[in-house]
């Protein structure tokens, strides 16, 4: 590696001023370089310059958990208002758990383990535990005392689930349509049997 250096010429100071400074080329010692790993790029990156990422409008996705209930129930909103105040002023973790559960959807509640259920029901054998969610098994619990637990039934037994699925009318679809009325002129699948107008 060569460098151009500007040096001071003492011998020519008394004479012509053109030789007061002169350029000289010197060779600098070579520094040892780190060995290149296989697969590393050979093009050097410019310092302080990075590559941008193409983000959609709105930036990166933020937290998606609920911070308020979707229900319009005024009594639920009053409960949320109360427990927000309690969480803010008391710092109680139990109040925070209740507030988080008030935000949850009705069909999607957090599960409860069997060992936690046993711990909660200790000393309350004459009570009935009501659990809004699923009770999961816990292999660490060896002895299960006699408990009365009111469990949630099958969540797919709701009438609303019959309307979920492919669009009604497409091949192999058994989805129940939303109809205004059940009269003679409203989606009767005519031509199948006598109760639908006529029989082919």
Please say if the pLDDT value at position 197 is more than 90.
no
Instruction: Determine the longest span between alpha carbons in the chain, in angstroms.
Output: 127
The two tokens of residue 190 are 């005519």
* Cβ atoms of 30 and 3 closer than 8 Å: no
User: Alpha helix (H) ranges present in 2-154?
Assistant: 74-90, 93-103, 114-120
> pLDDT of 98-117, one tens digit each?
898 889 887 776 788 999 98
Q: What's the mean pLDDT in 83-97?
A: 92
The two tokens of residue 58 are 């709105």
Looking at residue 167, its pLDDT comes to 92
Q: What percentage of residues in the chain have a pLDDT greater than 90?
A: 22
Q: What is the CA radius of gyration of the chain?
A: 39
Instruction: Please give the residue that has the higher pLDDT: either 49 or 130.
Output: 130
Q: How confident is the model at residue 30 (pLDDT cuts 50, 70, 90)?
A: confident
pTM above 0.75, yes or no: no
Looking at residue 24, its pLDDT comes to 61
């Amino acid at each position: 590696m060569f460098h151009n250096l500007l040096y001071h010429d003492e011998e020519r100071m008394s004479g012509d001023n053109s030789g007061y400074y002169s350029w000289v080329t010197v060779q600098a010692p070579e520094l040892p370089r780190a060995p290149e790993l296989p697969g590393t790029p050979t093009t050097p990156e410019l310092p302080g310059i990075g590559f941008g990422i193409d983000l959609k409008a709105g930036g990166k996705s933020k937290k998606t958990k609920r911070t308020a209930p979707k229900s319009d129930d005024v009594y639920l909103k009053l409960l949320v208002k109360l427990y927000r105040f309690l969480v803010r002023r008391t710092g109680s973790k139990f109040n925070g758990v209740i507030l988080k559960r008030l935000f949850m959807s009705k069909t999607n509640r957090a599960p409860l383990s069997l060992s936690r259920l046993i711990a909660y029901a200790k000393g309350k054998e004459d009570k009935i535990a009501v659990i809004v969610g699923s009770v999961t098994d816990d292999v660490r619990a060896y002895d299960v005392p006699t408990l009365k637990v009111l469990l949630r039934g099958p969540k797919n037994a709701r009438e609303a689930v019959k309307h979920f699925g492919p669009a009604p009318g497409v091949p192999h679809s058994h989805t129940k349509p939303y109809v205004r009325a059940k009269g003679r002129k409203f989606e009767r699948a005519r031509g199948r049997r006598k109760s639908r107008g006529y029989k082919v």
